[in-house]
Structure 1
């Protein structure tokens, strides 16, 4: 393992490298189970059949490509260090000869870029371009969110909320293209490359704007007091469709929102700026917009049909409506949720992942934008996500994983489907412990208030009748997440799944809990009453999980621990604070400990003094409100440049627990963020967690 360059901890380095248990030798290390490269950013070339993705291999992030006919993946960049610098926002040039990308993370509110190695020379977030055939990347300029012109001559990008652009034909520096009020986002070129649409966010409202390259003029489309988003061009470049969310519709974050003022879809004429409403959501369920994972939330499909997500029936589905208006047609009926969505190059087909007929997994489906039953492209015990149709329309590429086999990019060729072809078959290291992993089992258990909760149970091998093992409960973050019966599509939860497998290999019974306010079980489960800052009703699920394990014959009821990160850290802390008699110890990674502080992180205008009733309930829903009842030891892990959960939350909790004489251990990563940017920090955190549980919950048989 690569040791972090700066590591502050109140635990000794011996705990970061725990000795094997005397009575049960682990068949693999945390380094090994986290050693497979993680694929992400899968994208298809605009023409031909090539695809590209990013492999994160022990912290070294590189772009790979695979092209027909052999689809043999190869690397096109050569970054070799676990340097904490992200690679993403991949954009093909129209001629498919190069890929534009971003290297480096986004700045915090002070404008500081994430620098987890504390490099004194500093770091940046910049746009680069690299030839697909090979060669060194060329820096285009500081910024992010690149949008390559269909003409292939320029790339637009965002820098400090303003629109810049640079030539792809020469090495002249990028220059600011538009000087405008507000914060720009969602850059969208017109089909002919003559105009650039974007969203101008003004705080309590947002406009869709169009910049004309030839005349150097800016026009706002159908402006209002509302917040417009996700512009999409018509194929002829004369109109733009976009979403409109009504002013004042957003409630406080981390509270249930089952209904609100309805959102709508509008279409505007680019030449005049005049707009009209094409469709509006019904009141009640679905009136609050629910997004999917897509490059744009609405798409202009074949036959002039707008495709969009809606949860009218309480499930996130795809619908289509004619551009001229009319009733929305449901494309994906059933009790399941659509998640990762892409449109085919010809606009006739949507490819997507969902949990249809398999609620604890993801599989790939396709459906015509004109309607008809969806067709399954994958089934079985594996999981598949992020589908993209190739530019020539002959294949669908996606990421595939299993309960043991880690995620890897594959492609399904031909109209008849068949067996997916692995795009990088040699990428998995030879020492990856696939054979030593266990298959998690789906379980259902009652929460303390009777609600049925889903989970995955990792049962260690070799348990004999009469064995009473220590157990650990894992809570994901989000809370808009779902853990699955296999490796996860988020890097953060790929890592969490690895630790759960490692703990099972060490003899722990591990329960991963999909608590209320998570996704994939419908709107009412996700928008659970009194969840989060409005009552912390998820604590019922924490208690239910503990009681479920306590009543299992293979679990020692006095040795049950908790762990989780972010929202999962909140539930870990809440469980320890309110039920130390049930939970013996916990590992809390960057958890929320006071909802009033966390809400201000997302809504700066939130003033607890002016919303006294909501603030009182938010505090009573927080672990800090129950710290006087907290007795169980805890390991706190946090990066002090966290932009999601303020580092002050861990500072505040530590001080409060010390006053109560609770045994607190800490592992702090200076200059790292919420989702640790270095592989070394992830390994250090997880090895410290495993050692903590070994000492606090005792040895396994």
Structure 2
């Protein structure tokens, strides 16, 4: 399997493979792209080749010690700023293309990163963190949890001088995280940081002073887009709509933020058009899948680009509008959920129910089509279940995003106690109490962390969850983390599905690709052997050789989704399957469940 960068002309739609790799950095004049492979920086021409079957030749820009990356073009395309990482320290370098020369920017014993050019190409802003001592371990990039752990510097690239313009307070941590560092055209440095509960955008003058919070209040900022003159910031946020996403704008120097999308729109990933008159973004609603749209930068009518890309036969009228519901977890925490209630559902229907949980866990499901690929598909699957008569509840359990840092980093979650499972259980009990639902026919499905919670549901509460589909789930935390003392290892295991395998009786379908780089495939291998040894659980498998965590091949994705519905429907479904018939379970398997099994006519 290879990952490659492709180029396409917008006028002729001529397309060609540019290079193996990912994350190209385009030059301002549109003539070149920079790519990083194995700690080296390469340049490749964007001129269309005469033979589209052959990739253009990559040009190695320079050789320098360490691992070189994070390349940034100067505005005039004559220089490249980059970071060279050398274990305990890192430098900012400027490569002069014509001179074939590297100039180092204020080299020190610290870790410098994130170079950002000024609009005139005369200055570079960058981040400086302390170098590592022998007993230090490198912290994840962009996370700054201690006092005086972060400095912002500005360098004059012609004079070769640099000065510190801001540092995090020494008395208390001001920022929990720090991302999206950029020097704008009006000499303001923008960055996102989490101060207390919410991730906000801050603006800092290169003259110094204190950062200004551009997005105060409740709600977090997720995606940024800067106007060409650097004076206006467009961003997506859930402020004013904690369960959704909208596009906003605010002056980079500070001022009142203005909401550009409203009502039932989901808006993410804003990108200002060159003219400045409009901003493009990813647009979706409860019934309209994610598309590209534009809205005037002052607000107004939203225009969806290329509406013909949505098939004429798309069943928009068959979709339900999910409802926001809140369930109370046993410890009193309010858990937001989306309820998919089939059209025409009424009390006494005795419909089957399904609980869905997202992965991550740092994700948030929305009241519409999601902006991330798999979660958009998951939303579609939940709609499909609802279309077939199921009452579906999608649970935004604790440790997810969108509801503040305290919710995301709740105590005793994951391998430290699995406290989030009580939210899933609360969701299932909510479904059981719905007048439209048969309390004895509740299923469960999810991928990754959602797969973990599916396995947990079947292991701990087969009395409630009568069937489950576990996609690439974690089943034993103690085998997933390396350095754990005995007490931590015991807690990790007790927080895992394997700890309750003796009470697992409900049927399960495991779906997993054996080239999973997120969750080791052995997590599924191990639990299947344990369930087989137990001998009283109906197990089915869909194993995809060479597939990663989220399947790449369309046919494998479709098979996984079809089998998810078919498997759950076979054990708790009220409505007959309209796809190809499948065999009834063998007679010896009937003792595993007293549930009615519905298959094709």
**Does TM-score exceed 0.5, indicating one fold?**
yes
Q: Which deviates further from its counterpart, 206-215 or 326-335? A: 206-215
Distance of aligned partners of 1:169 and 1:568 in 2 relative to their CA distance in 1, 3 Å threshold? closer
Distance of aligned partners of 1:236 and 1:423 in 2 relative to their CA distance in 1, 3 Å threshold? same
| Distance in 2 separating the partners of 1:410 and 1:338 | 20
Q: C-alpha offsets along residues 596-641 of structure 1, whole Å, 9 cap, x if unaligned?
A: 4444xxxxxx434xx4443333333222233233222211111111
Distance of aligned partners of 1:126 and 1:407 in 2 relative to their CA distance in 1, 3 Å threshold? closer
Instruction: Find the counterpart in structure 1 of residue 566 from structure 2.
Output: 691
| Distance in 2 separating the partners of 1:512 and 1:593 | 21
Instruction: Find the counterpart in structure 2 of residue 177 from structure 1.
Output: 61
Q: Which deviates further from its counterpart, 261-270 or 658-667? A: 261-270
Does 2:289 match 1:406?
Answer: yes
Aligned with residue 397 of structure 2, among 505, 515, 537 = 515
Contact preservation (8 Å) 1:302, 1:369: no
Contact preservation (8 Å) 1:140, 1:174: no
**Aligned counterparts, 1:214-225, within 5 A:** 214-223=98-107
| Distance in 1 separating the partners of 2:333 and 2:176 | 24
| Distance in 2 separating the partners of 1:471 and 1:376 | 37
**Aligned counterparts, 1:114-153, within 5 A:** 114=1, 124-134=2-12, 136-153=14-31
Q: C-alpha offsets along residues 536-593 of structure 1, whole Å, 9 cap, x if unaligned?
A: 2211212221222222222222211111111111111122222222221211111122
Higher Rg: 2
CA deviation after TM superposition for structure 1 residue 492, in Å: 0.7
CA deviation after TM superposition for structure 1 residue 125, in Å: 2.9
Paired residue total: 562
CA deviation after TM superposition for structure 1 residue 646, in Å: 1.6
Distance of aligned partners of 1:333 and 1:589 in 2 relative to their CA distance in 1, 3 Å threshold? same
CA deviation after TM superposition for structure 1 residue 143, in Å: 2.9
Instruction: Find the counterpart in structure 2 of residue 679 from structure 1.
Output: 554
| Distance in 1 separating the partners of 2:532 and 2:526 | 10
| Distance in 2 separating the partners of 1:536 and 1:140 | 45
Contact preservation (8 Å) 1:340, 1:387: yes
Q: C-alpha offsets along residues 389-430 of structure 1, whole Å, 9 cap, x if unaligned?
A: 1011111111211111212211123x5432112210211111
Does 2:492 match 1:618?
Answer: yes
Does 2:41 match 1:163?
Answer: yes
Contact preservation (8 Å) 1:474, 1:564: yes
Contact preservation (8 Å) 1:259, 1:284: no
| Distance in 1 separating the partners of 2:64 and 2:11 | 38
Distance of aligned partners of 1:626 and 1:363 in 2 relative to their CA distance in 1, 3 Å threshold? same
Contact preservation (8 Å) 2:386, 2:392: yes
Distance of aligned partners of 1:170 and 1:507 in 2 relative to their CA distance in 1, 3 Å threshold? closer
Distance of aligned partners of 1:303 and 1:486 in 2 relative to their CA distance in 1, 3 Å threshold? same
Does 2:170 match 1:287?
Answer: no
Distance of aligned partners of 1:322 and 1:251 in 2 relative to their CA distance in 1, 3 Å threshold? closer
Alpha-carbon RMSD across the aligned residues, in angstroms, is 2.5
Q: Which deviates further from its counterpart, 525-534 or 335-344? A: 525-534
SS at match of 2:369: coil
**Aligned counterparts, 1:582-621, within 5 A:** 582-599=464-481, 606-608=482-484, 611-621=485-495
CA deviation after TM superposition for structure 1 residue 214, in Å: 2.7
Does 2:231 match 1:348?
Answer: yes
Contact preservation (8 Å) 1:156, 1:187: yes
Instruction: Find the counterpart in structure 2 of residue 333 from structure 1.
Output: 216
SS at match of 1:563: strand
Aligned with residue 436 of structure 2, among 554, 571, 589 = 554
Contact preservation (8 Å) 2:348, 2:437: no
| Distance in 2 separating the partners of 1:258 and 1:279 | 14
CA deviation after TM superposition for structure 1 residue 170, in Å: 8.2
Distance of aligned partners of 1:280 and 1:614 in 2 relative to their CA distance in 1, 3 Å threshold? farther
Q: Which deviates further from its counterpart, 561-570 or 263-272? A: 263-272
Contact preservation (8 Å) 2:152, 2:167: yes
CA deviation after TM superposition for structure 1 residue 149, in Å: 2.7
CA deviation after TM superposition for structure 1 residue 324, in Å: 2.3
Instruction: Find the counterpart in structure 2 of residue 659 from structure 1.
Output: 533
Distance of aligned partners of 1:460 and 1:369 in 2 relative to their CA distance in 1, 3 Å threshold? same
CA deviation after TM superposition for structure 1 residue 134, in Å: 1.0
SS at match of 1:163: strand
Instruction: Find the counterpart in structure 2 of residue 473 from structure 1.
Output: 355
| Distance in 1 separating the partners of 2:498 and 2:419 | 16
CA deviation after TM superposition for structure 1 residue 138, in Å: 3.6
| Distance in 2 separating the partners of 1:559 and 1:267 | 62
Contact preservation (8 Å) 1:263, 1:289: no
Distance of aligned partners of 1:450 and 1:234 in 2 relative to their CA distance in 1, 3 Å threshold? same
Instruction: Find the counterpart in structure 1 of residue 580 from structure 2.
Output: none
Instruction: Find the counterpart in structure 2 of residue 384 from structure 1.
Output: 267
Distance of aligned partners of 1:204 and 1:556 in 2 relative to their CA distance in 1, 3 Å threshold? farther
